[in-house]
Amino acid sequence: MNNDLLRNLRAAVDRLVPSYVAAHNSRGNELVHSGDFDAAIAEFDEAIRITPLVAELYSDRGRAYAAKGDFDRALADFSEAIWLRPQVAEFYSNRGATRRLTSDNEGAMNDYNEALRLDPYSAPAHFNRANLLMDLERLDEAVAAFDRAIRCNPDFTGSYINRGIAQHLLGYTDAAISDFDSAISADPNEAQAYLNRGRAHMDRSEQPSRKSS
C-alpha cells in the first residue's frame, strides 16, 4: 500500500472510530485488568474486525496475549501496531517487554532503545530497560536506568523496589533500604517492599554496608 495513502487512512480512522469500537476496547481493557484474558481478546477481535487500522487495538490485544502467556501472538500484535504507527514509543516498550519474557535479550534491548529514542521521558521504557539490565547482571547500569525511570515518574513504586533490589545486590544496603522505604511511603500495601526491606535489614545487621556511589 502506498505510504501516503496509508498515512491518510490512519488519520481518517483516528477521527472516525465509532463509539461502539471504543466500547469494545474499553471492555477489553477492563477484562484484562480482571484477568479474563480470553474474553478480553474476543472484545479486541471485534473492535479490530470493525476498524482494522487502529494501532492501539493491536497493542491492547497484544498486552492481553502477553498476560495470557501467548507470546507469539503478542509479538505479532505489537509488531502490527508498530507498522501502523511507528512513532509510538509505548508499542516498542511493550514488544521489548514480551521479547524479554522469551529470552530475546538483544531484541528487547533494541526495542527499549528505540522507545527511548522516540520518547526519552518514557518511564515504562526506562523501567523495562533497567529490568533487562538486571537480568544481564549489569547492575550499575540498571541502577542508573531506574534513576531515570524515577525522574520521569516518581510515583511508580516498582522503580524504587527494583532499584532497591539492585542496590542490595551491589552491597549498598542503606541505599536499598531507603528505596524500599520510599516504595512503602508511596504504597503502604506494597508487600514486596516490606519483604525486601526486611532482607536488607537482616544483611545490614550482619555486615557493614557499602556507601552508594
Determine which helix (DSSP H) or strand (DSSP E) holds 62, and give its type and residue range. helix 55-68
CA 81 to chain centre: 16
Alpha-carbon distance 138 to 141, whole Å? Answer: 6
Q: What is the pLDDT of residue 13?
A: 46
Please report the domains of the chain, with CATH numbers, ordered by start residue.
1-86 (1.25.40.10)
Q: What is the pLDDT of residues 132-146, one digit of tens each?
A: 999 999 999 999 999
Long-range contacts of 71-80 (CB under 8 A, 24+ apart): 71/98, 71/101, 71/102, 74/98, 75/99, 75/102, 80/55
pLDDT tens, 168-196?
999 999 999 999 999 999 999 999 999 99
| Residue 21: band (very low, low, confident or very high) from pLDDT cuts 50, 70, 90 | confident
* Residue 9 DSSP class: H
d(CA 20, CA 26): 10
List all residues 6 or more positions away from 64 whose beta carbon is below 8 Å from its beta carbon: 28, 31, 32, 37, 40, 41, 44
Average pLDDT of 104-117? 98
Cα distances from 133 to residues 97, 102, 105, 167, 189, in angstroms, run 12, 15, 9, 13, 27
Measured on CA atoms in the order 91, 152, 108, 43, is the torsion positive or negative?
negative
Q: How confident is the model at residue 24 (pLDDT cuts 50, 70, 90)?
A: confident
8 A C-beta contact, residue 115 and residue 92: yes
Say yes or no to pLDDT of 87 above 90.
yes
